């Protein structure tokens, strides 16, 4: 991805969160110079990888396969005792987050506002493939039984609980607008706890065509 594209995506996400009445912490708006000036007090942010995370999953097609995330809080075993994490995300119309599961993390995904959020779900089998068995999930505390791969749509305000090893992909339904998507979960580890159904890249290669206006979690070491 080009840095100019990432800068524009973050600017658009900030505007969308503001439109939806969701407020980010002050440091979400810092430029690289501000990060450098404050870095001595930001060890928890750096260590727990809080902040902006833009990915196209290695597709080169962010608009159709990508995700905009901001990690608000997270823990780290042995250093930060929080057993939980929280993210806020922007999901575009028909912008897919591809099938994956987590070995350790259980999470709730919440439609916080905007359009309709669609999921497709499969249980994993012993070889980490798709199972044909039905899927039982909790939607706002109500049990739902779905056929393997059946589509589930969440309106604003609704949430879905995802246990470990449950394959899921999601996207905003065309014609209803993008979605402000929340995640409340156990501690998040994007380096080792994501199992994608197909081989792909979780973090994008970046072409530095312009300087960054905001830093992503992968930028802290280089720029801050």
* pLDDT reading at 175 higher than 80: yes
Q: Where do the domains of the chain lie? A: 3-222
Q: Which residues pair with 97 in a beta bridge?
A: 170
Q: What is the pLDDT of residues 37-92, one digit of tens each?
A: 999 999 999 999 999 999 999 999 999 999 999 999 999 988 899 999 999 999 99
Count of beta carbons in the 10 Å neighbourhood of residue 4:
15
Q: What is the pLDDT of residues 21-37, one digit of tens each?
A: 999 999 999 999 999 99
Strand, coil or helix: what is 193?
coil
Q: Cα separation of 72 and 7, whole Å?
A: 19
- pTM for this entry: 0.96
CATH topology of domain 3-222: Jelly Rolls (2.60.120)
């Amino acid at each position: 991805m080009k840095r100019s594209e990432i800068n524009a995506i973050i600017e658009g996400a900030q505007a969308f969160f503001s439109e939806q009445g969701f407020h980010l912490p002050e440091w979400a708006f810092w430029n690289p110079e501000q990060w450098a000036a404050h870095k001595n007090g930001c060890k928890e942010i750096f260590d727990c990888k809080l902040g902006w995370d833009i990915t196209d999953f290695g597709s080169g097609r962010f608009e159709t396969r990508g995700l905009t995330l901001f990690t608000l809080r997270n823990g780290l075993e042995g250093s930060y005792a929080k057993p939980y994490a929280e993210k806020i995300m922007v999901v575009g119309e028909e912008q897919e987050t591809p099938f994956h599961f987590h070995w350790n993390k259980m999470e709730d995904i919440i439609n916080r506002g905007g359009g309709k959020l669609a999921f497709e779900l499969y249980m994993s089998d012993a070889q980490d493939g798709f199972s044909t068995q039905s899927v039982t999930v909790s939607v706002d505390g109500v049990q739902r039984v779905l056929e393997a791969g059946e589509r589930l749509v969440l309106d604003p305000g609704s949430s879905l609980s995802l246990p470990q090893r449950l394959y899921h992909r999601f996207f905003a339904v065309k014609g209803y607008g993008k979605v402000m998507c929340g995640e409340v979960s156990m501690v998040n580890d994007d380096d080792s706890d994501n199992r994608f159904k197909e081989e792909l890249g979780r973090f994008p290669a970046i072409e530095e065509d312009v300087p960054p206006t905001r830093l992503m979690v992968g930028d802290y070491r280089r720029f801050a």
